[in-house]
Structure 1
Amino acid sequence: MPIVQTQFSGLTPTRRATMPRNEIRWAAQDLGSLEDLYWDHIAPGLRAEDIDVHKPHATILTQRYPGLDYALREKHDLTVGEFLKTVVGLEEEPPEDPIPEKVRTALENYLDRPKLTHRRSDATVETIRSRLERYLRTYVDVNDDNILDNLSDPSAEGGEQDRVMAVFYRLEDELGSDRTKRKYLSRVQQFYSWLERRGKAEFDPTTAVLDEFGWESSPSDPIPLQPDQVAGLYGAASTSSERVMVAALAAWGLRTGEVARLKSNQIILDEDPRIEFESRKNGPGSVSLIYGLDPLADRLDQLVENGDKDWNGFLFPSSSSSSGHVSPDTIRNRFTRLANAADVDMDGETPTPKMARRYWYEAYTSAQGRLLEIVDEFKEDQGSTSTDVITSHYLSEERKRKLRRQAMRSELKAAFERG
Structure 2
Amino acid sequence: MPEEQYHKTYLEEQLPVELREQLRADNLDPTHLPTYEYLNSKGFETRGLNQAVKRHYGDEMTLHKFLKEQGFGYRGGEEWPTTHPETLGLLNGYRDSRKNRNGDRDPTVATMESAMRGILHTIQDLHGTSNLLHFARYEAADEKYEVNEQVEEVIDTIKAEKSDGAAENYIRYWKDFYEYAAVRTRIDHNPVMEVEGQYSFDYTPQKDRQPVADEQIRTLWETLKHLPEREHLSEPVANLADRHGLQEWQVMMMTLIVLGVSVGPRASDITRSSCREHWVLDENPHIKFPVRKNLPGQVPVLTHPEFLQAYIDYMEATRPNWNGKPFPSKESEKGSRSAKTLNNWLKALCIEANVELDDGRYPTLQNLRQTWHNQYLEVLRVNQVRLQLVADEQGTKDEDQIDISYRTAEEERESIRSLASRKFEELLPLSELPAIMANTLNESEYYDKQTDLDEF
TM-score w.r.t. the length of structure 1 is: 0.46
The structure whose residues are more often helix, as a share, is 2
Structure label with greater radius of gyration: 2
Greater RCO (Cα-Cα under 8 Å, separation 6 or more): 1
